[in-house]
Chain A
Amino acid sequence: MNHRSHATRVLTLRRLQETLLSPGFYVAQVVGLFAGVYLITRFAASVDSSGFNFALDPVYDLIGRSLQGTFGQAFAAKLFSEGPFLFVLYMSFLPVLVYLALSSVFRFGLEKKAGAVELITYGPADGTACLLSYFVKDFLLTLTHLAVLIVFFAVAAALNNLVLGPLFFYSLGLLFFIALAVYAYGMLTTVLAPGNPASALAVFIGLLVFFLILMLGSFTVVSGYVRSLAATLAWIVQWFSPAYYWSLGFRAMETGNLPFFLLTVLLLSILTAAILTASHLIIKTRGVKA
């Protein structure tokens, strides 16, 4: 094992210990699971003899209107075609994704500013080992959370006489790879952002919001508001957006096109690797000082 791999392993273990000893991760998990339990419970109230209907329950009515307004009717219908689990999966996964991504950006930014990263790099470690340790920590905790969600949903499905459909399992994989790309962007913004951890957080959140707007904009473009330059730019930038890969993956899942789904996952993995490589090159060139 070379020095960098060794340092990454040691630092990852410390970061895991740090995260698991603090309440944040558990709070995010509990929030996600409570949201899941709540939405599954309400789902029963939205079903009558003709099947699922948003309008039957005020909570689902609100969710349905929001989804239809943003993504269109077909998407909203597809999201609930296998019961509540697909939508609930997203809702249960999101708090942990957001917590892990934001906390890593903040912690890494704080360590950079305090000189802790510099101190670590005086030893047989470098900036790349530091950022990789955050990424691997998030990778492992996301896997853990997904395992918890699988158990949770399996139990919830059994208790409600429902089944987990193929879209659910496809989504598990897709969410995992999207999360990795988001974590990689977190590392990139931290190595790029100067000064304090708050500015790194602001840049990161801004970037995610930009990707979301871009994705929602693409739905608008489909609706016909096309401006050629903006559309071309958006077309180029979307390939860097995890949200775009989510929409691609969802389309593949909808049509049951496994090769297209695997291609999406492959492209997403390439994007993640490219972001991490860029982060590595930047930290190597600019150094680890804030």
Chain B
Amino acid sequence: MIETRKLTKCYGAFSAVDGIDLKIKPGEIYGFLGPNGAGKTSTIMMLLGVIRPTSGEITLFGERYRPGRLDLRRRIGVVPENHPKGVWTWMTAFEYLKMFADLFAVKDAGPRIDFLLEQVGLREVRNKKISEFSRGMLQKLSITRALLHDPDILFLDEPISGLDPIGIKQVRDLIMSENREGRTIFISSHLLSEMEKICHRVAIIFQGRLMAEDRMEFLLSKLAQDREIQVDLESLPAELPEQMASLPFVLGTASMDNTLVVKVPKEGDFRKEISAFMIKLNLVPLRIQESSLSLEEAFVTITNKNIEMFADLGGHHES
């Protein structure tokens, strides 16, 4: 759906984006992560045709994209991080959406607007001035606006930042439901725990370079050095960690209260063996759970390490 090749953006001598290759597939939720100043915004602006790349290529829907291709831009919906302040304040939600519906030449705009407002829970306030809207309401209005023309892909920049927990859930549900209907979603966000919940694939950009791009589970397993299995017991005998360490696949143990943490290699499922060992010792495991690397940990790992070390993570896994 979207592909970039050696996409580069320089501001003078500074390379904000340094030859990155992205591939966003139809129907997926693609997370785009990076710390501040990593080149995220410049990349998105190039993908949206707002700024021109210094070099490299963008292919959108199979066609070469450049600023000015308004026909291709028509197939994109964009939700910026912030709603513009101090403009259009005299408009009601309906008038605001009608303006954009007219821009996109949406047929039967009225019913479409009402349908989308109903979906995001803003139907009741369709005639309220947008200057009276809260941040959460503006965010939902922004998503509604971006969906008006039924775009093939939706770009969301920090869609849940600043929202309360209910707002976050509503926006998350909306994103998931749009994706279930086949819409491709591109999300840029700092809220990694949320990204982990909804993204199929993620890309991590750092200092203008693409550090990783992969399916979530592949990326996390690739970055994890080893795995940890947590065993909750009714009571934890003092000698158990040592006894467990004698097993051939155990790399290390740790204990806290009634929980034993067993480090095992990345490959293989050892829960069965651990469970059998416990039973042999007349212990009853209440819960055996594998703790995996979180996206947040993966992100920190990547951004903290040397660029060269992670250059080989740029390979793709086909889904």
Residues of A within 8 A of B (CB): 2-4, 6-7, 10-11, 13-14, 18, 21-22, 110-111, 114-116, 118-126, 284, 287-289
- A6-B105, A119-B80 in contact; A114/B86 too (CB < 8 A)? yes
- A114-B86, A115-B84 in contact; A123/B103 too (CB < 8 A)? yes
- List the A residue with the shortest CB-CB distance to B76: A122
Chain A residues lying within 8 Å of B48, measured Cβ to Cβ, are: 122
- A10-B103, A14-B99, A114-B84 in contact; A122/B73 too (CB < 8 A)? yes
Chain A residues lying within 8 Å of B73, measured Cβ to Cβ, are: 122-124
CA distance A288 to B85 in the complex (A): 16
The answer to whether B103 touches A115, judged by C-beta atoms less than 8 angstroms apart, is no
The answer to whether B87 touches A116, judged by C-beta atoms less than 8 angstroms apart, is yes
- A116-B84, A116-B87 in contact; A124/B70 too (CB < 8 A)? yes
Q: Does B133 contact A (CB under 8 A)?
A: no
- A288-B50, A289-B50 in contact; A126/B103 too (CB < 8 A)? no
Chain A proximity mask over B28-61: 1 for CB below 8 Å, otherwise 0: 0000000000000000010011111000000000
Chain A nearest CB from B229 CB (Å) reads: 47
Q: Tell me the count of chain B residues lying within 8 A, CB to CB, of chain A.
A: 29
CA distance A115 to B138 in the complex (A): 15
Q: Does B100 contact A (CB under 8 A)?
A: yes
CA distance A123 to B106 in the complex (A): 12
Chain B nearest CB from A271 CB (Å) reads: 26
The answer to whether A118 touches B103, judged by C-beta atoms less than 8 angstroms apart, is no
CA distance A73 to B291 in the complex (A): 94
List 23 A-B pairs, Cβ < 8 Å: A3-B70, A3-B71, A7-B70, A11-B103, A14-B99, A111-B84, A114-B87, A116-B84, A116-B87, A116-B88, A118-B50, A120-B103, A122-B48, A122-B50, A122-B80, A123-B73, A123-B74, A123-B103, A123-B149, A124-B71, A124-B103, A284-B68, A287-B51
The answer to whether A18 touches B100, judged by C-beta atoms less than 8 angstroms apart, is no
| Inter-chain pairs besides A3-B74, A121-B50, 12 sampled, C-beta below 8 Å | A2-B70, A11-B103, A114-B85, A115-B84, A116-B88, A119-B84, A121-B49, A122-B50, A122-B78, A123-B149, A284-B67, A287-B52
Contact of B104 among A18, A124, A287 (CB under 8 A): A124
CA distance A2 to B74 in the complex (A): 12
The answer to whether B50 touches A287, judged by C-beta atoms less than 8 angstroms apart, is yes
CA distance A118 to B82 in the complex (A): 12
Chain B nearest CB from A249 CB (Å) reads: 37
Chain B residues lying within 8 Å of A287, measured Cβ to Cβ, are: 45, 50-52
- A3-B71, A123-B73, A123-B74 in contact; A10/B87 too (CB < 8 A)? no
The answer to whether A126 touches B90, judged by C-beta atoms less than 8 angstroms apart, is no
The answer to whether A115 touches B80, judged by C-beta atoms less than 8 angstroms apart, is yes
Contact of A126 among B45, B51, B70, B78 (CB under 8 A): B70
- A122-B76, A123-B73 in contact; A7/B84 too (CB < 8 A)? no
Chain B residues lying within 8 Å of A124, measured Cβ to Cβ, are: 70-71, 73-74, 103-105
Contacts across chains A and B counted by CB atoms under 8 Å = 73
The answer to whether B86 touches A4, judged by C-beta atoms less than 8 angstroms apart, is no
- A14-B99, A114-B85, A288-B50 in contact; A125/B70 too (CB < 8 A)? yes
- A287-B50, A287-B51 in contact; A126/B87 too (CB < 8 A)? no
Contact of B100 among A3, A115, A123 (CB under 8 A): A123
Q: Does B102 contact A (CB under 8 A)?
A: yes
- List the A residue with the shortest CB-CB distance to B48: A122
CA distance A118 to B44 in the complex (A): 13
Chain B residues lying within 8 Å of A7, measured Cβ to Cβ, are: 70, 103
Residue from B52, B70, B73, B85 with most neighbouring chain A CB atoms (10 Å): B70
- List the B residue with the shortest CB-CB distance to A107: B87
Chain A residues lying within 8 Å of B67, measured Cβ to Cβ, are: 126, 284
Chain B residues lying within 8 Å of A289, measured Cβ to Cβ, are: 50-51
The answer to whether B90 touches A21, judged by C-beta atoms less than 8 angstroms apart, is yes
- List the A residue with the shortest CB-CB distance to B79: A122
Chain B residues lying within 8 Å of A121, measured Cβ to Cβ, are: 49-50
- A110-B86, A287-B50 in contact; A10/B99 too (CB < 8 A)? yes
CA distance A11 to B88 in the complex (A): 12
The answer to whether A123 touches B87, judged by C-beta atoms less than 8 angstroms apart, is no
Chain A proximity mask over B220-256: 1 for CB below 8 Å, otherwise 0: 0000000000000000000000000000000000000
The answer to whether A126 touches B68, judged by C-beta atoms less than 8 angstroms apart, is yes
- List the B residue with the shortest CB-CB distance to A3: B70
The answer to whether B102 touches A10, judged by C-beta atoms less than 8 angstroms apart, is yes
Chain B residues lying within 8 Å of A120, measured Cβ to Cβ, are: 103
Chain A nearest CB from B208 CB (Å) reads: 19
Chain B residues lying within 8 Å of A4, measured Cβ to Cβ, are: 70
CA distance A119 to B78 in the complex (A): 8
CA distance A119 to B77 in the complex (A): 10
CA distance A218 to B76 in the complex (A): 54
Chain A nearest CB from B81 CB (Å) reads: 9
- List the B residue with the shortest CB-CB distance to A115: B84
Chain B residues lying within 8 Å of A125, measured Cβ to Cβ, are: 70, 103
Chain B nearest CB from A47 CB (Å) reads: 48
Chain A nearest CB from B226 CB (Å) reads: 45
- List the B residue with the shortest CB-CB distance to A22: B90
- List the A residue with the shortest CB-CB distance to B81: A115
Chain B residues lying within 8 Å of A126, measured Cβ to Cβ, are: 67-68, 70
CA distance A11 to B100 in the complex (A): 9
Residue from A119, A120, A288 with most neighbouring chain B CB atoms (10 Å): A119
Chain B residues lying within 8 Å of A22, measured Cβ to Cβ, are: 90
